[in-house]
Amino acid sequence: MLALGKLLELTLAGREPAQKIQLTVDGVQLRWLSEGALEVRPPEARDNGSDLLLSSGIHGNETAPIELLDRLLHGIAQGQIKLRTRILFLFGNPEAMRRGERYLELDVNRLFNGRHEKNIGPEAIRAADLEQLARNFFSLPGRSRLHYDLHTAIRGSKIEQFALYPWKDGRKHSRHELARLRAAGMEAVLLQNKPSITFTAFTYEQLDAESFTLELGKARPFGQNQGVNVSRLETRLQQIIEGNEPVTDSLDGLQLFSVAREVIKHSDAFLMHLPADVENFSPLEKGYLLAEDLAKTRWVIEEEGARIIFPNPKVKNGLRAGILIVPTTDAGLV
């Protein structure tokens, strides 16, 4: 197989390929951009006008999505997947991937939309580089733009596979994209309602892509992802790549949530009153004292049907320690 089809192998070895551009036997161009970044372009006659950014490894120990992208790239490089879509494959944090750690010093997925400029170190530089790679990739006019940033979670979840849909003032969420996610196996989508500092928030807000963070199960080491079933997502991605995706607008079985409140950790005195192994989407009763901090700051559950996702009292001061969410409807979709 072509050396550039082995992007994961090159990334984990910390190696740079001798050839930066290679062609498959059916004319697909593979172009090395930088460490962990590969653009794949179909022959002009087969190009359907779609641009797809597939990122994973933003957290280096979330290996199932990395392995998924590796399989897709292998299929394209070997001619088994007939490419009609221009793709940018990105492995977000190569050094963390090599060490099998979530991140080294800073959570890369909290460093976008200007946040990297307020920090120093290799991960802040990497976030700036990822923004520029995405900006360059999505710079061609007149093409559709889709970004899936693939993750697995620190903890278990009562809803195992779900997506987060970023927000931008004046822009409505797409029913078509939600139906596509449902067909790809997502059981729930969180419709966000404020700006964010994640990678998908950057591509959604700044680059006008349809962008989604996908949570696919629990994080495990390389080679131990038999329990993470990404078969429906893999099938749908292959259909998108080949341009033969079945049309559907059905949201049947898809649960929709909106953000009620974010729990922000302000100091080292922060306390979260949840078990260490609490799962994402765990329900919380009204009146429950969820967390407290300095200056008598208290988070008491007031919302009907509230649930918690991403609870993490160990985050750095000033960062989000959890999100309170509530059920919502599809009334605002277009």
Residues involved in catalysis: 215
Q: Is 59 annotated as a binding-site member? A: yes
Task: Name, in order, each residue with C-beta under 8 angstroms of 247's C-beta and a sequence gap of 6 or more.
Answer: none
Residues 197, 129, 18, 15: is their CA dihedral positive or negative?
A: negative
What are the C-alpha distances in Å from 27 to residues 22, 30, 40, 81, 207? Answer: 9, 10, 11, 13, 29
Token pair 């082995």 is found at 6
User: CA torsion sign, 224 to 226 to 227 to 228?
Assistant: positive
Write down the residue that tokens 């090159």 correspond to: 10
Q: Which letter does DSSP use for residue 157 in this model? A: B
Helix 122-137 / helix 199-207 crossing angle, nearest 10 deg: 40
Residue 151 assigned ligand-binding role: yes
* Segment (H or E) for 23: strand 21-23
Q: Is 116 annotated as a binding residue?
A: no
* Binding region: 59, 62, 151
Which residues are annotated binding-site positions for Zn(2+)? Answer: 59, 62, 151
